[in-house]
Amino acid sequence: MDLNLLRQRSPTRWEITPKGAMRVPAIIYASEPLVRDMDHKVYEQAVNVAALPGIVTASYAMPDAHWGYGFPIGGVAAFDPDAGGVVSAGGVGFDISCGVRCLHTGLRRADVLAVQKELAQALYTRIPAGVGSTGSIHLNDREMDAMLAGGAQWAVARGWGLAEDLERVEEHGQMSGAQPDRVSKQAKKRQRDEMGTLGSGNHYLEVQEVTAVFDGDIASRFGLAQGDIVIMIHCGSRGLGHQIGTEFLKRMAIAAAQHGIALADRELACAPIRSAVGQDYLGAMRAAINCALANRQILTDLVRKVFRDVVPQAQLPLLYDVSHNTCKVETHRVDGGTRELYVHRKGATRAFGPGHPDLPEALRDAGQPVLIGGSMGTGSYVLAGTRESEARAFSSACHGAGRAMSRHQALRTWQGRKVVDDLAARGILIKSPSMRGIAEEAPEAYKDVSAVVDAADAAGLARKVARLEPLVCIKG
């Protein structure tokens, strides 16, 4: 990106002043090297988002921002329904409520190394992963609607997990306002056999070691110490979320024209929040959030059963579960008062600070865990939300490293087998049904996750707590 297009306000805050149709500034949070390496499309998309009706304060891009559909991935924007604010399917993304769940194990590195190969094979065999993967669960029409309304609470009620898990999940495991009747038959059909599956792309299940602690006090509150073994599950709403996104983008393109909304890019298709299409989308999108929460809850139960068989001494309580492709109604301070806003986070993680009432009591003093995933051989991070993030980006932070090159480029650069062998030489076991998928997700195809996390920390979006490095990765 050309830095001459931006005004640098701090070492990690870059501003695009309003021009043309922009209603608010666009702000990028990143270090100078990260901004330089961003493609120009991030600039264009951040500017276009700033021109949407009812946007409040600014259009934001996180340190991992890269080119997405309509909104940049790593984009954050909040809209006021009282000012004609809109909801955009492109501002949520196709994999609705894709997110990360982190589990403790009570194990140490030596415990895993003693059974590493057996554990990797058992997880790979019993956790369905890959394009079109299906599980053993088949939902009829009644159970499909119950799942879309109930989320992780539905899953726990049917025996997949523990009641105490729900205290450590956004929305206590159930997104209110879901309307399963707004989800198409085709979307439900695609999901009927996909519950309890990882899917493909950048989705994964990793067994990880805590290799560094940056904030001992918060780490202790989160139950993390150097040498601990944890598990991260990264997945979303699978085919159902993608179908909802596809269908509503078409409906929103028509609705925008009907409501006189001029779009700089057709991919920014949107509808007024209070319109029929806007309300239909919100009902379907919330149902997809519940689908993702239920999916990760079922996967948690499957993982616990594998560990029970392979490492019976392990205990797997939940640290936290947080999504990074959502639109949620939240109360934020704007211009000296509080307003109810529709906050879009696309490839961006909610990061509530200490004391926020929506956080579980056990975590409230420390702030919300912010879970940042790496890519197979790279590290992942646990951060904590800050009080400052409320004013800086509606309590939002990055969600991962962000791609540095396209999947097509990665395929031309790496071979999946070599990636697997190179990581095995470093003590990291990779299991996947697709060598092509591994090549597409090669660690070097992504930005430096440590640089992204350092920028988020320096910008005050979230505080670094711990670094995690993989020992086993099940890749979709």
301-320 pLDDT, tens digit per residue, is 999 999 999 999 999 999 99
Distances (CA, A) of 236 to 93, 288, 446: 11, 9, 20
CA distance 384 to 83: 32
Is the CB of residue 433 less than 8 Å from the CB of residue 181?
no
The percent of residues above 70 in pLDDT, for the chain, comes to 100
Distance from first CA to last CA of the chain, Å, rounded?
A: 32
Say which range, 11-20, 88-97, 411-420, has the weakest mean pLDDT. Answer: 411-420
Residue 109, pLDDT above cutoff 90 = yes
Element (DSSP H or E) covering residue 79:
strand 73-79
Residue type, 403: R
Assess whether pLDDT exceeds 90 at residue 445.
no
- Which two structure tokens, joined as six digits, stand for 176? 């209110």
431 forms beta bridges with 474
pLDDT for 447 beyond 90: no
pLDDT in tens, 453-464: 999 999 999 999
| Number of compact structural domains in the chain | 1
pLDDT tens digit sequence for 367-419: 999 999 988 888 999 999 999 999 999 999 999 988 888 888 998 998 999 99
Angle formed at CA 69 by CA 65 and CA 73, multiple of 5 degrees: 20
Range of the domain at 400: 3-475
Sheet (strand 13-16) strand order: 7-10, 13-16, 26-29, 59-66, 73-79, 337-346, 325-334
Half-sphere exposure of 297 (CA within 13 A, CB side): 31
pLDDT band, residue 133 (cuts 50/70/90) = confident
- What span, in angstroms and rounded, lies between the C-alpha atoms of 224 and 104? 8
Residues 459 and 367: their CA atoms lie apart, in Å, by 16
Cβ–Cβ under 8 Å, residues 102 and 369: yes
- Give the mean model confidence (pLDDT) for residues 42-56: 98
Both tokens assigned to 284? 């379907």
Would you state the pLDDT for residue 404? 83
Helix (H/G/I), strand (E/B), else coil: 369: strand
User: DSSP readout, 223-264?
Assistant: T--TTEEEEEEEE--HHHHHHHHHHHHHHHHHHHHHTT---S
CATH of the domain at 83: 3.90.1860.10
State the Cα–Cα distance between residues 342 and 82, nearest whole angstrom: 11
Residue type, 308: R
* Residue 399 falls in the annotated catalytic set: yes
3-class DSSP state of 170: helix
CA distance 33 to 447: 11
> How confident is the prediction for the chain on average, in pLDDT?
96
The answer to whether 436 and 411 have CB atoms below 8 angstroms apart is yes
What lies within 8 Å, CB to CB, of 189 at 6+ separation is none
Interatomic CA distance for residues 215 and 91, integer angstroms: 33
Q: Which of 158-162, 268-272, 411-415 has the lowest mean pLDDT?
A: 411-415
Choice among 203, 332, 399, 408 that is catalytic: 399
**Among 13, 4, 5, 59, which Cα is nearest to 34's?**
13
Q: From CA 231, how far away is CA 303, in angstroms rounded?
A: 9
